[in-house]
Amino acid sequence: MTSLPAAPGEKRLGLVIDLDTCVGCHACATNCKEWNTSGHSAPLTDINAYQAEQRGVWFNRVFTYEAGGQGGEARTVHFPKNCLHCEKPDCVTVCPTGASYKRAEDGIVLINHDLCIGCKLCSWACPYGAREFDEDEGVMKKCTLCIDKIYNENLPETDRTPACVATCPSKARHFGDFADPQSNVSQLTRERGGFDLMPETGYRPTSKYLPPRPGKRAGAARLAPVEQSMGGGGKFLRWVDRVLSR
């Protein structure tokens, strides 16, 4: 089985996703697909792309839910999902070949496709459904935080962000270093009550979600009370946990 780094590195790179400002446009998923289908994990296979029963490899997926019932408490919530680059990822430790690994220097979880045998143990171990099986290649693939983009010195420094972050029209996605308490993602997490998804798993995701702000309509505040605890998030977050645990 694969071991995790003995000690954390100087960086812990990840995302903050704001559920309050995400409009469910799928721009993150589309730009992610465009960049990565010719990047580090290329190709990202599509099967029956223009027919019924389409399927393929997508590192970003956006789900839309109607929360709060009907009337004044109703609210549409768009929920983007991708790899959270956990601090204790069982998707790495269950890998029998060492193909799945966590980088010590920045905490990014990657897959060496030359070592992957497509056994899918990592996908079974991931409670977030962030692993994708490429049917053509016969290997597992996943979000890389656009590692070939964020470290590309041929790009202007302002462009060295993951494709999903660069394209988001509502600025719902933020990229940065969680090891730096003054970084944009660390500050957003503190100020907005950022939370871990399914903290009961003990995976300790690096990336965080920001809860929806209370709405102006009657009763909307009950959907997303902001708690100070990183494992908190109230009624809405418990509902998200139940949906993703099915």
For a pLDDT cut of 70, what percent of the chain falls above it? 87
**What is the rounded radius of gyration, in angstroms, for the C-alpha atoms of the chain?**
18
Mean pLDDT of the chain, nearest integer: 89
Interval 40-77: pLDDT, tens: 899 999 999 888 888 999 999 999 998 877 777 788 99
CA distance 205 to 98: 21
Tokens representing residue 177 in the block: 């270093």
Residue 241: pLDDT over 90: no
Residue 235: pLDDT over 70: no
Confidence of residue 218 (pLDDT cuts 50, 70, 90): very low
Interval 177-198: pLDDT, tens: 999 999 999 999 999 999 999 9
CATH topology of domain 13-44+63-88+145-244: Alpha-Beta Plaits (3.30.70)
CA distance 173 to 131: 20
- Transcribe 67-81 into DSSP letters: ES-SGGG-EEEEEEE
Q: How is the chain split into domains, by residue range?
A: 13-44+63-88+145-244
Cα-Cα end-to-end distance for the chain = 27
